[in-house]
A and B are shown apart, each in its own frame.
Chain A
Amino acid sequence: MPQNSVIVSHIGKRYRIGAAPASYRTFRETLIDTFTKPKKRLHGKMTDANSFWALKDISFNVEKGMALGIVGRNGAGKSTLLKILSRVTEPTVGSATISGRVGSLLEVGTGFHPELTGRENIYLNGAILGMKHEEISRKMDEIIAFSEVEEFIDTPVKRYSSGMYLRLAFAVSAHLEPEILVIDEVLAVGDAEFQRKCLGKMSDVADQGRTVLFVSHNMSAILRLTQETIVLEKGKLVMQAPSAEAVDYYLSHGFSQEGFRVWTPDEIPAEAAPFVPVAIRILNDQGNISDTVRSTQPIHIEFEYQLEEAITGLRVGIYLISVRGEFIFTSFDVDDSKRFEEFSVRDKGTYISRCTIPADFLNEGRFVLGVNASTFKIKRYFHDEQALVFHVDGTGAPGTQWPEPRTGLIRPRLSWEIEAKN
């Protein structure tokens, strides 16, 4: 009988509303509450009105040596689940049994201190991750080689570029050799080469018979790396199945099908402030909101958002992604340098950024739209790689006289010439 390395039974996690990570209470508030609302103290009972269940009654098992994918939209509880399994936070109810050392890549670079050198940070970070001193010394050369920062290993990491910092941080985590590896979207950061390396390391880990729990929005990575996947929706586990089946279910059920998407407050992470995404809409050339647009017509995209405070250097953009998770393009509203100067500071207020995907560009099929609001190298306010799914209908597109599927994500109308050479 196969051994389970993770057994999760009936786990639930309740958060107090208003006790979100970013907010904290002051004595004065507590003092005032003590007198005005004597029953509602800080340690008072949580009620349905002042709390919500981030996770409800989650049960699943992971066999030893299996890679399990965890998918779900923003706010579905994926990160909370990983935090409970890596013991950062406690469940409100239920229990989990974990056999073996858990290493998590939730925390690449946790405890890194900018004033310490690369080598010193390897020791420190290794100790934080639970490695023994002797173990770190033994793997030191390997870690340094993997990180590709040999030359700067005795330089304080505050002088590192963000890429070097990330590579070093990942290198330490990757050499932890835990029995159970928990990964949360490390792939969202770093350049393509680094992502390739991370994925490679992860498949190594999976091949060595270790258990992997992998949270990602990247469906192709999920399909490639995991055998089974669980789908979370609003804190509930809605499916556990072989990955292909679960991804298909997720893609066809997990999204809004109406051609627009509105973000609810619980889907917006606290770090997004002062950026508040409101809605994204897909419009056909007639100006109607629609989830199906024609390949032969321009596709209009509107992203509406609020700024609670002015932001300098903000860029708001979209990703177009295939349902297999491949990025087709990324585009920002201030890609034009003149416009970037014009909108160098965006004041408080509500905005709509609009763009048009030209006609005769996309192939037929299903596409995913993602959004990103960030300032270059400073802060990523908000990003959702699955804001919306839409369909492209290929009627009339080049080559549709032959009723056969065309491979490729785009289907541009190229100008062909045929020259007879005789």
Chain B
Amino acid sequence: MNVINEPETSKTIIQPSKGWKIVDLKELIRSRELIFFMTWRDLKVRYKQTVLGVAWAIIQPVMTMVVFSIFFGGLARVPSDGIPYPLFSLAGLLPWQLFENSLRNASRSLVTNRNMITKIYFPRVVLPLSSVLACIVDFFVAVPILIFMMIYYHYSPNIYLLLIPFYILLTIITSFGVALWFSAMDVLYRDIGYIIPFICQLWMYLTPIAYGSGMISNPKLQFIYNLNPMVGVVNGFRSSLLGVYNTVPIQSIVFSSVISILILISGLVYFRRMEKQFADLI
């Protein structure tokens, strides 16, 4: 929707929008209270009527870690860059589950909230954005268990711990960018709802969660492999947290950032292009 909003007179002009633009970020900033309340609603509602409540945010990665440790670490003896396998997989699973949960929730957010979209105007991008934000809280709830594991295995981070916020940010940018594409497509094609679980699964195996990226040695293959921004993020997160790094991996950071930002910008453009039709098509 093409809307010019001047705060003094608060005059709104409604007319058909044309061309390719990115989502109106100024308007999004003005809607920060709505973003806050939608995030809060997501969190508040997520574990309602569950016995274990917010503990699920911890149980999910831990259970996956146990399964991975038995099958990949134990039976298949997958190399884990010399780190004890449970710690290795958990350090990968936390950023990965942040990515996967935000991607899944945000991609479905428009269709889930279709009654809001058909009845009232608000910046549509609030919906996927607040879904992603709600997942960050889950992530932080699960962090203590990782710290506990690090103490148990006597691993301590070094100065490169300072890179962690950057990797978290990159995870959010990537999942939000992909979710912008998927959520807008979901309005037109409900197939997206069925495809997302497969994509998530495939994407996880293309990311060094259960195995170390050292397994990929062919340089050509390595280049393609690194196109997945989550490779740089997961490797970076794990290495900086467990004190593996002794230099800043500039190349990997730049590479992952560029790809993530491209995904985000293209998502913002595609979303904007589609959003005018949401109320009619959803």
Contacts and interface: CB of A to CB of B under 8 A. Distances in A.
Nearest to A103: B120
21 contacts: A19-B280, A21-B118, A24-B189, A24-B282, A28-B191, A85-B14, A87-B14, A89-B279, A89-B280, A91-B14, A95-B13, A97-B14, A98-B11, A99-B10, A104-B120, A106-B119, A110-B119, A111-B41, A111-B120, A115-B44, A128-B120
Contacts of B279: 83, 88-89
B276 A99 contact: no
A21 B119 contact: no
B189 A88 contact: no
A14 to B, nearest CB: 10
Contacts of B116: 107, 110-111, 128
A107 B119 contact: yes
A116 B121 contact: no
B33 A133 contact: yes
Contacts of B71: none
B188 A42 contact: yes
A19 B281 contact: yes
Contacts of B16: 90-93
B15 A88 contact: no
Contacts of A390: none
Given A87-B12, A94-B15, A98-B12, 19 more contacts: A21-B280, A21-B281, A25-B188, A27-B191, A89-B276, A89-B279, A93-B16, A96-B15, A100-B10, A104-B120, A107-B120, A110-B115, A111-B41, A111-B116, A113-B41, A124-B37, A124-B40, A124-B41, A127-B37
Interface of A: 15, 19, 21, 24-28, 30, 42, 83-102, 104, 106-107, 110-111, 113, 115-116, 120, 123-124, 127-130, 132-133, 179
Contacts of A179: 10
A136 to B, nearest CB: 9
Interface string B23-64: 000000000011011101100110011000000000000000
Nearest to B195: A27
Contacts of A15: 280
Interface centre among A89, A93, A113 (most CB of B within 10 A): A89
B9 interface: yes
A100 B48 CA distance: 39
A335 B210 CA distance: 65
The prevalent SS among residues of B at the interface is mixed
A90 B282 contact: no
B224 to A, nearest CB: 26
Nearest to B189: A27
A92 B189 CA distance: 22
A97 B251 CA distance: 51
A332 B241 CA distance: 70
Contacts of B13: 95-98
Nearest to B281: A19
A201 B44 CA distance: 32
Contacts of A25: 188-189
A24 B190 contact: yes
A132 B33 contact: yes
A95 B118 contact: no
B273 to A, nearest CB: 10
Given A89-B280, A91-B15, A98-B14, A128 B189 contact: no
A421 to B, nearest CB: 66
B22 interface: no
A269 to B, nearest CB: 13
A187 to B, nearest CB: 17
Nearest to A127: B37
A401 to B, nearest CB: 56
B227 interface: no
Contact of B119 (A88, A92, A95, A113): A88
Contacts of B113: 111
A92 B116 CA distance: 22
B258 interface: no
A184 B220 CA distance: 62
Contacts of A129: 120
Ranked nearest first, the 6 interchain pairs of A and B with the lowest CB-CB distance are: A87-B121, A95-B15, A107-B119, A127-B37, A89-B279, A96-B14
Nearest to B14: A96
A89 B1 CA distance: 8
B14 A95 contact: yes
Nearest to A88: B279
Nearest to A114: B45
A86 B45 CA distance: 29
A85 B119 CA distance: 12
B205 interface: no
B17 interface: yes
A86 B119 CA distance: 9
